[in-house]
């Protein structure tokens, strides 16, 4: 089948930016982003998307895989990570054409992320505007990305189109280092604004009875001590379902207890809770893992625990295991092994539990790159636990894999599991998994490139 030049027609030249928005809306697009293409954005050099994969949390992608380049010309790009994208090109009439080989390619040693394979296997002919020997180095080109769940619908505007003229008239308003966003309609407000409005409302509620949402979205009283997070999530309409997506419109929501507003967190903050994807924990299963590495609870019979702070290069006295970072040079801030991991090893260097760099990359990109931290105080009133959320909040953005691995390596982030196995003397022991990574509130600045402190009473 011959390829179609859908972006070199009279229709594509005359299509307005408003009509393009309407086409995206017909496909139930939730967000529209665009990039003003540079001269090296073409089929040979690929399209530059940003410095780090974690900077592109607004563009959905699949599971990350790591490889090592064999090219002698790319010594600085030896370590490569790839993530597939469900990509389709949209014509000026709204028809969709799949591009099944589209992917992100991340070169952490450079560092840079590029879009690749967006023409391979597609019926769309873009050679006129992507081939560097033709017009593939023309600066007056624009790439649009419409986001629909885990899918990307793309549109290309040529230098002679009405859409390009409209974009040229706009002042740059960067969402990331190269991408900008267009509102779906005049009523659309940013995810950040939505978040701040809701947090302001919750702050002004004052004392809120401890609660949580069930799977049906119904409010239920919650009596346990850790109700601060559940209560805040209930007010935001967040169901505790372990979703891989951020909590609220692209933001991960973290609350922390303080004795008074303005003070630091009383306890370390739980940063993330991904399950291991390697080691004995995965290969032999949780029950065998606990039998080998768990220890008897001194107060409760028939129960094994696996808890305690595991920081880099230190042996935990309870478990006799050491936390390690394999495949990362903390001095040079350089990934040396595409299949590297963080994890626990025993005295014989056997990997007991591990999290691959690809898992950490995937988890952080999809869920944690934008986070808000909200302080809370609590009290018991008429025998009911209550929470009040503060008006000074902190927004954090942009934590790349190098910052993460550095923080693991120097002990800023540490592993602090809460795993138990009950009824150990029966044929059906009961397990509870809680693999959590923690950080002190005073060290959050080391994880993110951007921090913004906001007074909700002043928005």
Rounded CA separation 100/124 (Å): 12
The least confident of 176-180, 274-278, 318-322 is: 176-180
Phi first, then psi: what are they for 332, rounded to 5°?
-85, -5
Tell me which of 13-27, 33-47, 69-83, 428-442 is least confident: 69-83
CA distances from 237 to 56, 212, 269 (A): 25, 10, 22
Find out whether 151 and 61 touch, Cβ atoms under 8 Å: no
Residues 146-160, mean pLDDT to the nearest whole number: 96
Taking only the tens place, the pLDDT of each residue in 396-424 is 998 899 999 999 999 999 999 999 999 99
Confidence band of 89 (pLDDT split at 50, 70, 90): very high
Mean pLDDT of 260-288: 90
pLDDT at 76: 54
Average pLDDT across the chain, whole number: 92
Quote the pLDDT of residue 191: 85
Backbone φ, ψ for residue 35 (5° rounding): -130, 130
For residue range 218-258, list pLDDT tens digits in order.
999 998 888 999 999 999 998 876 556 668 888 999 999 99
261 has a pLDDT exceeding 60: yes
CA angle 360, 365, 369 (to 5 degrees): 110
Question: Does residue 349 have a pLDDT over 60?
Answer: yes
Q: Is 92 helix (H, G, I), strand (E, B) or coil?
A: coil
10 Å Cβ neighbour count for 422? 16
Q: Which domains does the chain have, with CATH numbers?
A: 10-182 (2.40.330), 258-379+390-458 (3.30.70.3570)
* pLDDT tens digits for range 32-41: 999 999 999 9
Between strands 252-257 and 370-381, the pairing is parallel
Mean pLDDT, residues 327-354: 95
In this model, does residue 453 exceed pLDDT 90? yes
Cα first-last separation, the chain: 56
- Band (167; pLDDT cuts 50, 70, 90): very high
- pLDDT at position 366: 80
What 3-state class would DSSP assign to 213? strand
CA distance 229 to 374: 10
Whether residue 436 has pLDDT greater than 90: yes
Of the pLDDT bands very low, low, confident and very high (cuts 50, 70, 90), residue 128 is very high
Q: In what order do the strands lie in the sheet with 65-68?
A: 47-50, 112-116, 103-107, 79-84, 65-68
Whole-number pLDDT of residue 239:
83
| pTM of the complete model | 0.89
Question: Which residue stretches of 131-178 are H helix?
Answer: 162-168
pLDDT of 73: 55
Q: What percent of the chain has pLDDT over 70?
A: 96
Task: State mean pLDDT over 281-296.
Answer: 96
pLDDT at position 262? 81
Please report the pLDDT score of residue 156 as a whole number: 97
CA-CA-CA-CA dihedral for 361, 362, 367, 368, to nearest 10: 0
Burial of 447 (0-12, 13-18, 19+ CB in 10 A): buried
Q: What pLDDT does 247 receive?
A: 80
What confidence tier does 74 reach under pLDDT thresholds 50, 70, 90? low
Q: Token pair 């049906």 is at which residue?
A: 216
| Mean pLDDT within 26-46 | 93
Which percentage of the chain shows pLDDT scores above 90?
A: 76
């Amino acid at each position: 089948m011959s390829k179609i030049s859908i972006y070199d027609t009279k229709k594509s030249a005359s299509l307005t930016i408003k009509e393009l928005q309407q086409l995206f809306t017909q496909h139930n697009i939730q967000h529209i982003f665009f990039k003003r293409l540079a001269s090296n954005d073409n089929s040979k050099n690929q399209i530059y998307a940003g410095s780090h994969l974690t900077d592109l949390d607004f563009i959905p992608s699949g599971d990350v895989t790591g490889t090592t380049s064999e090219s002698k010309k790319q010594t600085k790009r030896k370590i490569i990570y790839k993530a597939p994208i469900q990509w389709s090109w949209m014509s000026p009439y709204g028809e969709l054409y799949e591009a099944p080989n589209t992917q992100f390619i991340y070169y952490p040693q450079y560092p840079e992320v590029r879009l690749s394979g967006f023409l391979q296997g597609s019926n769309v002919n873009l050679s006129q505007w992507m081939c560097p020997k033709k017009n593939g180095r023309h600066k007056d080109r624009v790439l649009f990305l419409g986001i629909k769940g885990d899918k990307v619908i793309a549109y290309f505007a040529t230098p002679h189109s009405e859409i390009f003229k409209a974009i040229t008239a706009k002042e740059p308003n960067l969402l990331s280092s190269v991408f900008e966003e267009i509102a779906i309609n005049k009523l659309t407000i940013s995810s950040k604004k939505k978040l701040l409005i809701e947090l302001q409302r919750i702050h002004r509620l004052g004392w809120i009875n401890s609660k949580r949402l069930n799977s049906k979205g119904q409010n239920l009283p919650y009596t346990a001590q850790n109700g601060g997070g559940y209560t805040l999530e209930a007010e935001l309409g967040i169901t505790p379902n372990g979703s891989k997506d951020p909590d609220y419109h692209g933001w991960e929501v973290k609350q922390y207890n303080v004795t008074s507003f303005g003070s630091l967190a009383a306890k370390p903050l739980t940063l993330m809770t991904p399950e291991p994807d390697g080691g004995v924990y995965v290969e032999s299963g949780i029950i065998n893992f606990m039998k080998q590495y768990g220890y008897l609870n001194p107060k409760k019979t028939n129960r094994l625990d696996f808890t305690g702070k595991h920081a880099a290069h230190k042996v935990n006295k309870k478990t006799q295991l050491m936390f390690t970072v394999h495949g990362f040079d903390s001095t040079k801030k350089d990934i040396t092994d595409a299949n590297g991991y963080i994890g626990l090893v025993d005295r014989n260097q056997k990997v007991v539990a591990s999290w691959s760099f690809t898992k950490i990359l995937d988890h952080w990109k999809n869920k944690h790159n934008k986070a808000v931290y909200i302080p809370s105080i609590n009290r018991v009133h008429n025998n009911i636990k209550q929470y009040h959320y503060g008006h000074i909040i902190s927004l954090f953005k942009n934590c790349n894999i190098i910052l993460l691995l550095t923080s693991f390596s120097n002990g800023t982030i540490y592993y602090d599991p809460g795993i138990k196995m009950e009824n150990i003397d029966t044929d059906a022991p009961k397990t509870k998994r809680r693999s959590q990574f923690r950080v002190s509130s005073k060290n959050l600045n080391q994880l993110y490139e951007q921090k913004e402190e906001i007074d909700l009473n002043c928005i």
